[in-house]
Amino acid sequence: MAAARVAHPELVGRPRHPRPRVAHFHLRAAALTADMEIDVGHATRFYNIAFVIPALVLAAGRSSRMGRPKATLPLDGGDTFLSRIVGTLLAAGVDDVVVVVGHDADAIAKSVAESGVRARLVLNPDYDRGQLSSILAGLAVIDRPGVVAMPPFLYGGAFLVVLLARLVSPLRIVAGSLVAEGIALAALGVGIAVWGRRTMVAAGTNVRPTQPATAIVTSGPFRFSRNPLYCALTLLYLCLTAIANTWWGVIVLVPLLVVMHVGVVRREERYLERKFGDTYRQYKASVRRYL
């Protein structure tokens, strides 16, 4: 996209590189731009993205002059207008292509799926407010690992399944009580979780996996495990399993750990490797993934 020295209500300026591996994307709103509910009108936002090269493709408009979505317009070679753009970006070395859709989103999503190009689709429900709203919708998902769900919700949902299954069939682990063992697991899990959280906060990076990582943390519990917080969640889950005294907790834990590994941990690893490169690869080679 061409750079514009004069701010335009729906333009993004060219990235500049004041230091190695960091690009500043300047989102500008002109003085005559209408105020937006998300309070970005008449302001400048900075999105710092290290090492990852992203691209936004806007395909949310109505294409009213053409009478059909431009994104699905067929081209030679079996491509569509959109798949040709995405394919060109990927061939140029772009790591993360985000396509913002709105009007006729289902048709465009189907077209992208059929083309086989690798792109993330983001829905902009406010596409009628103009291209700026689509740019903001796209920027909101850039520099994120894209985990399937927040890990506490995954563990909480899994234990809810355990409780429901226990009502049908208790499947007791022992005849007596495992409350003492559960409390011990809880103390260990909480201790690791607090230690890990404080270490991440002190390093200045985000704790939530739905937010950008700003640093590789190698101190505290991260010296022994790359995922101490998830290990702590597993200990807390086992604590509840022990207190409930049911084998269902162990049975449900197996698919839960598979989902965590594939849908959370592996996605975070790919994201961190793209973003931090050799720094993360060196850490990855020296510290175990779990225990």
Report pLDDT digits (tens) over 256-281: 999 999 999 999 998 898 888 899 99
178-to-172, 182, 184 alpha-carbon distances in Å: 10, 6, 10
Confidence bin at 122 (pLDDT 50/70/90): confident
The reported pLDDT for the residue numbered 146 is 81
d(CA 3, CA 11) in angstroms, rounded, equals 8
Does residue 82 surpass a pLDDT of 60? Answer: yes
Residue 76 gets which letter from DSSP?
G
Choice among 124-138, 175-189, 224-238, 275-289 with the minimum mean pLDDT: 124-138
pTM: 0.61
d(CA 109, CA 123) in angstroms, rounded, equals 10
Confidence bin at 52 (pLDDT 50/70/90): low
pLDDT in tens, 85-119: 998 998 888 767 889 999 888 988 888 888 888 88
The reported pLDDT for the residue numbered 14 is 42
The reported pLDDT for the residue numbered 115 is 87
Look up residue 212 and give its two tokens: 């950008």
The reported pLDDT for the residue numbered 253 is 98
Q: Which helix (H) or strand (E) holds 154?
A: helix 151-168
pLDDT in tens, 135-192: 888 887 777 788 889 999 999 999 999 999 999 999 999 999 999 999 999 999 999 9
pLDDT in tens, 4-44: 333 343 333 444 444 444 444 344 333 333 333 333 333 33
Confidence bin at 49 (pLDDT 50/70/90): very low
The reported pLDDT for the residue numbered 20 is 42
Does residue 234 surpass a pLDDT of 80? Answer: yes
d(CA 185, CA 240) in angstroms, rounded, equals 9
Residue 45 gets which letter from DSSP?
E
Choice among 15-24, 218-227, 238-247 with the minimum mean pLDDT: 15-24
Q: Which helix (H) or strand (E) holds 114?
A: helix 105-115
Confidence bin at 55 (pLDDT 50/70/90): confident
Helices 228-244 and 179-203 meet at what angle, rounded to 10?
160
The reported pLDDT for the residue numbered 140 is 75
Going by CATH, does the domain composed of 16-139 fall within 3.90.550.10?
Answer: yes
3-state SS of 234-286 is HHHHHHHHHHHCCCHHHHHHHHHHHHHHHHHHHHHHHHHHHHHCHHHHHHHHH
Query: What is the SS3 assignment for 24?
Result: strand
Enumerate the domain spans of the chain. Answer: 16-139, 151-286
More confident: 19 or 284: 284
Number of H helices, E strands in the chain: 9, 6
